[in-house]
Amino acid sequence: MEPITLTTERLLLRPFSPQDTHRVHAACQDPDIQRWTVVPSPYRLTDAELFTTKLSPAGWQDDSAYGFALTLRETGALVGALGIDRRSLPGTYEVGYWSAKEHRGRGYVTEAVLGSAHWAFSVLGADRLEWRAETGNVASRAVALRAGFRLEGEQRSGLLNKGVRRDAWTAALLPSDLGLAGAHPYVPGRRAPGPGGSPDPGR
């Protein structure tokens, strides 16, 4: 796919370019980004260069991942990054993101998640957008919940980060959650029966 730019109320979600290398490198010196995401630690300038010049463009070229630099429309400042990755199940994608420390607490990433979700559902034909983060990453979970994702549980050993397997929280957003139609019909499953044979009201 040809890289595209999305516009939200305050942001431009645009493809990364070599000009972003130093800003990505500076943002990823934050210990929280290195702790909770899969970026290398320590994060070197060569890591940022590899990401902005090769890895991110390659995802667009082979339709495996769509990476966006989150920048302010007014100033062009880099406030974060967001990626939508294709999963093995057709119509299923996963969103991931990080926010630069000095721009947190202003709702930028939530705004970007919602903008990119609308794009994924309407252009990519996504039927399900998944979110996954290591158990304990409350900031990432808060963004997902504000964007309308529904928590679906915890996966034991659900993530591999820097050679260590960790438990993960999982959630998902469906087109219907945003008032959109999906690419395929969706029939929700019936609730599991309770002890008396009727659906368990507690589930």
Distance CA 110, CA 129 (A): 14
pLDDT averaged over 10-residue windows placed end to end, the chain, 203 residues: 97 98 98 97 98 98 98 98 96 98 97 98 97 98 98 97 97 97 91 64 49
Among 130, 110, 122, which Cα is nearest to 173's?
130
What's the CATH architecture for 6-178? 3-Layer(aba) Sandwich (3.40)
**Which are the contacts of 70, defined by CB distance < 8 A and separation ≥ 6?**
11, 12, 13, 78, 79, 80, 81, 82, 97, 99, 108, 109, 112
Distance CA 19, CA 73 (A): 17
Distance CA 169, CA 105 (A): 21
Distance CA 122, CA 178 (A): 11
Stated pTM of the model: 0.92
pLDDT value, residue 195 = 66
* Residue ranges covered by each domain of the chain: 6-178
Residues 114, 119, 124, 126: is their CA dihedral positive or negative? positive
92: left (phi over 0), alpha (psi -120 to 50) or beta: beta
pLDDT value, residue 203 = 45
Distance CA 37, CA 176 (A): 29
pLDDT value, residue 201 = 52
pLDDT value, residue 149 = 98
